Copies of this chain bind each other. A is one copy, B any other.
């Protein structure tokens, strides 16, 4: 099988690594706007050879793991270039605009809209991890729009990689993911900003910060090039969830200012049930 990975970073690189392990006879072609990433991917044996769109007609499977703004621009071109029997799937963190962009594409049946929920705050080929997708959820949208035998080919691979599959429409995906992923990134970035602004003398942060701080600001290391277009594409949902978050923080602030410690205790106590909810999450333990 010829697999083309377009965007050979953390997500695409980890997929390439696992496919290699699961199917050693697969030939993996890498395409990336960043030539250095391609060299690195070759050196790390994530890919067997560099390629470009001119070779895409040889693909049995194409994985597109690039920032979602580039995705919307490139996916129609990629679909144009593949043969009628190729399956193209993406790994974008937004789904509505991508699905909308492709709804009338003549090769829509060659496309499968996916969001494998896995990753770390790092990026680039060197961030690729073996076994990243084991036990992770892969959300698939509009499965019915993909040709049956191509669905099957992709699902077989996801199964081999250890993924759990969930089906959802693109709008529901974007709404829920705003709460459980996009908001976390904003809260983390702004937390990092608040502390950096205040603590000009970084030694103070360095010496006093513990694992709790590290945990809450971890996502502030994420790539702005990847996250800016995610916030743009999911603007309506993100604005809504961010507004609710700010309201909750203001409520907490008000309780604190008015010395309502019973209220503060109750807020925290009610939120403690996140324990039970999180117990079910298939984690990407690092």
- Mark A residues whose CB is within 8 Å of B: 117-121, 136-137, 139, 164, 166, 176-177, 179-181, 183-199, 202, 204-222, 224-225, 227-229, 231-232, 235, 238-239, 241-246, 248-250, 252-253, 256-257, 259, 261, 264-275, 277-278, 280-281, 283-286
Q: With A180-B195, A198-B241 in contact, do A268 and B224 touch (Cβ < 8 Å)?
A: yes
Determine if B199 and A118 form an interchain contact, defined as CB atoms under 8 angstroms apart.
no
Determine if A252 and B186 form an interchain contact, defined as CB atoms under 8 angstroms apart.
yes
Determine if A197 and B278 form an interchain contact, defined as CB atoms under 8 angstroms apart.
no
- Number of copies of chain A assembled together: 2
Please measure, in the bound complex, the distance between the C-alpha atom of A44 and the C-alpha atom of B272, giving whole angstroms. Answer: 26
Determine if B198 and A244 form an interchain contact, defined as CB atoms under 8 angstroms apart.
yes
Determine if A283 and B208 form an interchain contact, defined as CB atoms under 8 angstroms apart.
no
Please measure, in the bound complex, the distance between the C-alpha atom of A242 and the C-alpha atom of B103, giving whole angstroms. Answer: 44
Q: With A261-B232, A265-B224, A274-B217 in contact, do A212 and B184 touch (Cβ < 8 Å)?
A: yes
Determine if A194 and B268 form an interchain contact, defined as CB atoms under 8 angstroms apart.
no
The 10 closest A-B pairs by CB, nearest first: A211-B284, A224-B268, A184-B216, A180-B209, A192-B274, A117-B210, A192-B271, A190-B248, A206-B280, A228-B265
Query: What chain B residues lie within 8 Å of A117 (beta carbons)?
Result: 208-210
**Which residue of chain B is the closest to A228 with respect to CB atoms?**
B265
Determine if B208 and A181 form an interchain contact, defined as CB atoms under 8 angstroms apart.
yes
Q: With A191-B184, A228-B268 in contact, do A249 and B242 touch (Cβ < 8 Å)?
A: yes
Q: With A184-B213, A232-B261, A264-B231 in contact, do A245 and B190 touch (Cβ < 8 Å)?
A: yes
Smallest CB–CB gap between A15 and chain B, Å? 16
From A181, A190, A244, name the one whose CB has the most chain B CB atoms within 10 angstroms.
A190
